[in-house]
Chains A and B, each alone.
Chain A
């Protein structure tokens, strides 16, 4: 058993790094989503209501419930230019994903596509997907 670990040390090390990168990626995605969603002007449920103080929105009849699951950049791009900080966050997340990809041509293509997404984000253009 010990020799198996020794022989596969490289593989295990790579898997471990990949798992750490995936965890970091999830965290960054969550941060990005929360930054994109936060608005001090968003209405709250009035006091006296059981949900008083909670964030609400004007479209309570939206039953799709899928907003959180959509790629936020598409939705946000429709609203125009994003902040430089938002685009930079997106770029870092994309780069983390790209870094986990092999073989090299896929990794390189992912980087180039991530950069197109960064440019589009800054310029307020529709952000292309990152299909990797």
Chain B
């Protein structure tokens, strides 16, 4: 079950390209909890999952994984990727060790 979505925008030469992100409800797995998510990059869909000791950790790890995928992407590096406005960040948390990559409001508030 999808519990949250967000769409990023890639400013491409031929016009804007939507990059949808879908986050599923954390599910109890055999050992721990997993939280699945998908990012529909222009070159293909990335299907991943975060796992945690409980549902909250699985969800947090999934959100941080999304943040890492976005900030480490060539699209972010190109400066053509945005959420609500260019250069303001994407509103996903990241792990401490890549906080230096954050921009805009992400840098201030996350």
Q: How far is the CA of A94 from the CA of B53 in the complex (A)?
A: 14
Contact partner of A128 (CB less than 8 A), chosen from B61, B64, B71, B97, is: B97
A128 to chain B: closest residue by CB: B97
Stretch at the interface among B7-15, B44-52, B81-89: B44-52
Contact call A111/B53, Cβ cutoff below 8 A: yes
Report whether B71 and A123 are in contact in the complex, using a CB–CB cutoff of 8 Å: yes
Interface size on A, residues (CB 8 A): 22
Contact B97 A119 (CB under 8 A): yes
Interface of A is mostly: helix
Picked from A95, A98, A111, A123, the residue with its CB within 8 Å of the CB of B68 is A123
Contact among A104, A111, A122, A123 with B61 in the assembled complex (CB-CB below 8 Å): A111
Known: A84-B46, A111-B61. A123 touches B72 (CB 8 A): yes
> A84-B69, A88-B48 are known contacts. Are A99 and B32 too (CB-CB below 8 A)?
yes
B93 to chain A, nearest CB (A): 11
Indicate the member of A91, A111, A124 with the most B CB atoms within 10 Å. A111
**Using a Cβ cutoff of 8 Å, how many contacts connect chains A and B?**
58
Query: Cβ of B95: which chain A residues have Cβ within 8 Å of it?
Result: 112, 115-116, 119
Residues of B near A128 (CB, < 8 A) are: 97
Query: Are B65 and A118 closer than 8 Å at their CB atoms?
Result: yes
Which residues of A lie under 8 Å from residue B110 when comparing CB positions?
none
Shortest CB-to-CB span from A122 to chain B, Å, is: 4
A residues adjacent to B (C-beta < 8 A): 81, 84, 88, 91, 95, 98-99, 104, 107-108, 111-112, 115-116, 118-120, 122-125, 128
18 CB < 8 A contacts A-B = A99-B31, A107-B53, A108-B57, A111-B53, A111-B61, A115-B61, A115-B64, A115-B65, A116-B95, A118-B68, A119-B64, A119-B65, A119-B95, A122-B69, A123-B68, A123-B71, A124-B72, A128-B97
